[in-house]
Structure 1
Amino acid sequence: MQTASRSRFYWLNFGIPLACAVVVFLMFDLTRIDIAFNNLFYDPVTQTFPLDHVHLFEKITHKWARIIPNWTGEIAIIGALLSFLWPRLKAEKHAKIIDFLEKIRVAPVLRFATRHRRDLLYVVLAFSISTGVIHYLKGHTSVYCPIETTQYGGKIEHKEWYENFDLLKVAGDGRCWPGGHASGGFTMLALYFVARRYRWRYSKAIMYGSLALGFVYGTTRVVQGWHYMSHTFWAGIFVWLACLLTALAFYGRARLEMPVLGKAEEPALVAQPVGLMPADQ
């Protein structure tokens, strides 16, 4: 039974993303579908992508959109740092400080951060690793954005990522593969694995929401001519794998594969004393 459960876990979490990678490679990287899709948003008369010149569209979809992953990462960093503060406060030595923190309602925040220290550190590390993987791939494949290539009035010849890939050194100046903006949305998948740890019944909603966010981020850059659609798919695959591997290191497979709690079971989890869910669980 355990073997079947383990196999199912690895098939769902590793098998499906790897199968998607094969499909994306065969369907997009070896064909001209990417170019055909981008052609829909390109004006050959002016040799521009019209939406690339709409400042409001750029501000909303590119600049403002970054707020969600940026603030999530910053909150996780602040929370992780605060998680080390509460355990250092001893009732016999810091009674006045504790009373003051209780009075201004900071103490509950510090206790929450301490209780969820592992989760906060996981989010910080998962974000960092995901970003690092994307930056590594960008530098070691040197793919130029569509708008920079001769296909769309630029000066650089279009090449696929595997034509330039170099494992050990920077391949060139191109920095377009995988999609960086899309990966920012996909990093929210880290919250899905935290939810899975606690078997929260809305964990799948977080997963679907994070995937949707990444695809929206990526697609808005496609219609502006700064990415191909396959760049978004590749970003999602790599970020998923980065978040998954980090979650396995932090929580272990057994915790992540447990079934989500039913509606009737959730109050029992919430009602558990803090001592039953220590920060290093």
Structure 2
Amino acid sequence: MKSRFYAYNVGIPLVCAAVVFLMFDMTRIDIAFSNLLFDPLTQTFPIDKIHFFEKLTHKWARIIPNWTAEIALIGAMLSLVWPLVNPHKRPRLGAFLERNKVAPVLRFTANHRRDFFFVVVAFALCTGVIHFLKSHTSVYCPIETTLYGGKMPHIEWYSNFQLFHEAGSGRCWPGGHASGGFTMLALYFVARRYQWRFSSAILWGSLLLGLIYGTTRVLQGWHYMSHTFWAGIFVWLSCLLTALAFYGRARLELPVVNKRTQKVFSAQPEVLL
């Protein structure tokens, strides 16, 4: 079971990384695909000029991961309130909160404190990893390079990687917008913790969301397609590492429970101390 768990959750992403590196970074497929979207007469990516497309796919689309992160942060903060209320010592306060329907919310957040904090930390770690890679590779977006009417040179991430200091002002690799969609993978690990039968739907939905986010930026000339794939790989590994720290491998590798035998959130949710 242990070897199978790591084969799926670490082995597959590493194989994907090797495929992306050899198929995209070692060839000109990225450039060939972006060439199809570029208008050499106007020296622009036509879709980048559609303001509604920009708002719909770049501005408004951020609502999904942003609201998820905000809800998780609020839940994490509220989870600390119920132990402070301590209705056994403060029965009047407890009764007041019960009458106003606040107590169930506080109990829920306290019971799932570990999950709320996991999502907060996973989102933060994913964001941090992506920003680190962006600043330490200094890759410029296609639309910024001389290939597509810009002023900056086209460089590959591996030729400009600096481990201990920033490599320059470029901030295009991996895909930041795509990573926002992929961070929803954190919810998949929460679902796996509880053996929820819809966990696979969350997995594929999060992957699809990240691909959509990334592809829209490719269409606008602000990323190459491989940037999206790299973002997904790094976000997955970041979420996996965080999930192992919060839940442990033994919990995450439990089989999904079907509808007939599924428990309601594992009877007694753990509380993060």
Q: TM-score range by the shorter chain?
A: over 0.9
Letter in 2 for 1:246: T
Distance 1:186 1:270 in 2: 24
| Alignment match, 2:2 | 6
**Which aligned runs of 4 or more in structure 1 are off by greater than 6 angstroms?**
none
Q: Which segment drifts farther, 12-21 or 105-114?
A: 105-114
Distance 1:22 1:194 in 2: 28
Ranges in structure 1 where 5+ consecutive residues have no aligned partner:
none
| Alignment match, 1:118 | 114
Structure 1 residue 265, shift from structure 2 partner: 1.1
Letter in 2 for 1:31: T
| Alignment match, 1:278 | 270
Of 125, 130, 134, the match for 1:134: 130
Distance 1:41 1:270 in 2: 47
The Cα offsets for residues 114-173 of structure 1, whole Å up to 9 and x where unpaired, read as 000000000000000000000000000000000000110001110100010000000000
| Alignment match, 2:140 | 144
Structure 1 residue 104, shift from structure 2 partner: 1.9
Q: CA RMSD in A?
A: 1.2
Structure 1 residue 47, shift from structure 2 partner: 0.5
| Alignment match, 1:81 | 77
TM-score, normalisation: structure 2: 0.98
Distance 2:232 2:207 in 1: 7
Structure 1 residue 186, shift from structure 2 partner: 0.3
Q: Name the count of aligned residue pairs.
A: 273
Distance 2:51 2:186 in 1: 31
Alpha-carbon spacing, 1:103–1:14, altered in 2? closer, same or farther (3 Å): same
Letter in 1 for 2:10: F
Alpha-carbon spacing, 1:271–1:140, altered in 2? closer, same or farther (3 Å): closer
Of 19, 27, 48, the match for 1:23: 19
Percent identity for Structure 1 against Structure 2: 69
| Alignment match, 1:252 | 248
Q: Are 2:29 and 1:33 equivalent residues in the alignment?
A: yes
| Alignment match, 2:181 | 185
- The answer to whether the 8 A contact 2:194-2:265 is kept is no
- The answer to whether the 8 A contact 2:144-2:152 is kept is yes
- The answer to whether the 8 A contact 2:87-2:93 is kept is no
Distance 1:133 1:252 in 2: 21
- SS of the residue corresponding to residue 40 of structure 1 reads helix
Q: Which segment drifts farther, 180-189 or 100-109?
A: 100-109
Alpha-carbon spacing, 1:265–1:231, altered in 2? closer, same or farther (3 Å): same
Distance 2:266 2:173 in 1: 46
Ranges in structure 2 where 5+ consecutive residues have no aligned partner:
none
